[in-house]
Amino acid sequence: MTGAAEAGKLKLSKTEKGVLLRVRAVPGASRDRISGIYSDALKVAVCAPALEGKANRAIVRVLSKTLGIKRSTISLKSGKTSRNKCFLLETLTEKEVLKMVTGVLAE
């Protein structure tokens, strides 16, 4: 499946402040990366363990680097202790998120 087709499965929600992105966390991975799409969420693998918010902070770093936005514009809205999370990306539109994710998945 192509990056564009895969990225099209993402469930993004527009809000007044930005875009809500669903994330499926994979803590304890061998390296930090976006590893694909899981159902309708972006699958993000991080080395950090699911302990005391370490994995959540690592996911913010991965999203920040991948999407080219500041960490301070990314906030966890739900799923603090769950694998299924929702992050608010304050400075991006749905179209911009899809474009960036498509590029990452195509690599």
CATH number at 100 reads 3.30.1200.10
Q: What angle do CA 44, 50, 56 make, to 5 degrees?
A: 55
Domains: count for the chain: 1
Query: What's the pLDDT score for residue 4?
Result: 66
Q: Which residues contact residue 96 at a Cβ distance below 8 angstroms, ignoring those fewer than 6 apart?
A: none
Nearest to 105 by CA among 12, 38, 60: 38
| Residues spanned by the domain of 48 | 3-106
The pair of structure tokens assigned to 4 is: 């564009």
CA dist., res. 104 & res. 28, Å (int): 21
pTM for the whole structure: 0.92
Average pLDDT on 19-46 reads 95
Query: What's the pLDDT score for residue 56?
Result: 98
Average pLDDT of the chain? 92
